[in-house]
Amino acid sequence: MQKDCAAEIDAAIKRYQALSVCCTEDARLAFMLGTALLQTQQLASARLAFMHALQLNPDMASAHNNLGMVYLQQQDWTQAIDCFKQALALKPEHVGAILNCAIALRTTHALEQALTYFERVSSIAPARVDVWVNKGLLHRQMGQLEHALLCYQHASELQPEVAEFHHNSGVLLTELKRYSEAEHRIRQALNLRPDYPMAWNSLGLLYKKILSFDAALNCYEQALKLQADNSDVHRNMGVLYAETGQNLQALACFDQALTLRPEDADALNNKGTVFAACHQFTAALDCYDQALALRPDDADTWWNKALLLLLIGHYSEGWRLYEWRTIKSEMKAMYAHTSGKSWRGKEDLTGKRLLVTYEQALATLCSFVATCQCWLNVKYTPFSMCRSFLKPSCSRLGRVLRLWPRASPYPRQMRIVR
């Protein structure tokens, strides 16, 4: 808030407070006082003012909406949603209440309900940019990147001079692996705002994905010239150095990122991976443990720790933690077609179908195939999953196996060995 504007609002608050002494039954005055207090983040006083306004006039939809905004900023999501719905019961096309309710529902992860409200408000107020931006955030949260991209592009059409909207589109296009389009949109953002550090960072991430490492490094350096205390850029630069084998530089970047933001679990995980590559195994495990203390459900860090424990011979703990790999997003996608449950070595497999899968390399598949030769006399049918283009070659590896293309739906009633 600019200084002149803040001074005007403070003066307005004093006028409203003075008037409310003699006009105690004026609901509109109480509402205006609450609105001014809300603008200056005096949330407790604003809440009291809106509640007073509603005591005087329970049918004031805008007061219900603004009271909901107070609760929204206080992170009292249930009360906020209730206020917005009360406002909409009184005025069904109250754009602010619909949008605020959608945002609150999105924040509480009631995503399908939130989408209903976003669809409603975008049809009523298609020219409001904030509607499309927030709707895009919801689609991204739901993993619907193409829909999110359309929302951001709509926002940039409404306000083409806003660099952030072009940048958001570029980030999504990068995730969609449409790299040429992504570069164009991020460059548009930088043409509008050359001093935009996060756009330089996003451009660096894009260049790293297409293996243009020097260009990526230049982008990160440009971002840090503009915002030296940005921990994300230091971490991303560290990842770049690590992927190009420059481990000392990588560790320095991760240390800088953690100095700026000690709770950066990604930096700790990446630092642990670099230590492991340098055979500093104790330091690596310590980094993984610190990362997991901050983010206990992070499958990638558990996976890295499991691999390291197996590498240094701690097999019991390593194999136990190795199961975290099944939670990783790429593993979930790999087994999306399966309906059967995994076999953990205890269930009797006599007469059962068994799908043997490989996860990391063709050599792993060959190892599985060789193992399955020992199962010739067992009374169940072993299958092995492989990529479609490998099926002709893999078919010659074992006479007892039936191969199943990875992208196809699997036979029913099948146990899975990974």
Distance, CA of 402 to CA of 400 (rounded, Å): 7
> In the predicted model, is pLDDT for residue 98 greater than 70?
yes
Mean pLDDT, the chain, rounded, equals: 84
Residue 40 banded pLDDT, cuts 50, 70, 90: confident
> In the predicted model, is pLDDT for residue 289 greater than 90?
yes
pLDDT of residue 415: 43
**CA-wise closest residue to 81 among 91, 73, 71:** 71
Q: Any bridge partners for residue 383, and if so which?
A: 355, 402
pLDDT in tens, 343-356: 666 677 666 666 65
In b/e form, how buried is each residue of 87-107, taking b as 16+ CB within 10 angstroms?
A: bbebbeebbbbbbbbbbbbbe
Q: What is the mean pLDDT of residues 388-403?
A: 48
Selected residue with higher pLDDT from 323 and 86: 86
> In the predicted model, is pLDDT for residue 2 greater than 90?
no
Selected residue with higher pLDDT from 172 and 399: 172
Tokens matching residue 17: 């407070």
pLDDT of residue 16: 63
Q: What is the mean pLDDT of residues 379-384?
A: 45
Q: What is the mean pLDDT of residues 320-324?
A: 87
pLDDT of residue 381: 46
Collect contacts of 91-96 with beta carbons under 8 A, ≥24 apart. 91/61, 93/124, 94/61, 94/62, 94/65, 95/121, 95/124, 95/125, 95/128, 96/62, 96/65
pLDDT of residue 326: 73
Q: What is the mean pLDDT of residues 321-342?
A: 66
Task: Using a pLDDT cut of 70, give the percent of the chain over it.
Answer: 73
Selected residue with higher pLDDT from 371 and 279: 279
Q: Any bridge partners for residue 415, and if so which?
A: 354
Distance, CA of 355 to CA of 411 (rounded, Å): 9
pLDDT of residue 355: 62
> In the predicted model, is pLDDT for residue 45 greater than 70?
yes
Q: What is the mean pLDDT of residues 78-96?
A: 96
Residue 406 banded pLDDT, cuts 50, 70, 90: very low
Where do the structural domains in the chain lie, given as residue ranges?
Answer: 3-227+238-244, 339-417
**89 and 68 Cβ atoms separated by less than 8 Å:** no
Selected residue with higher pLDDT from 400 and 68: 68
pLDDT in tens, 99-137: 999 999 999 999 999 999 999 999 999 999 999 999 999
pLDDT of residue 34: 86
Is the domain spanning 339-417 CATH 3.40.50? The answer is yes
> In the predicted model, is pLDDT for residue 382 greater than 50?
no
pLDDT of residue 369: 57
> In the predicted model, is pLDDT for residue 384 greater than 50?
no
Domain 3-227+238-244 homologous superfamily, CATH: Tetratricopeptide repeat domain (1.25.40.10)
Distance, CA of 132 to CA of 375 (rounded, Å): 58
Look at 6-20, 190-204, 345-359, 381-395 and tell me which has the smallest mean pLDDT: 381-395
pLDDT of residue 339: 56
pLDDT in tens, 151-168: 999 999 999 999 999 999
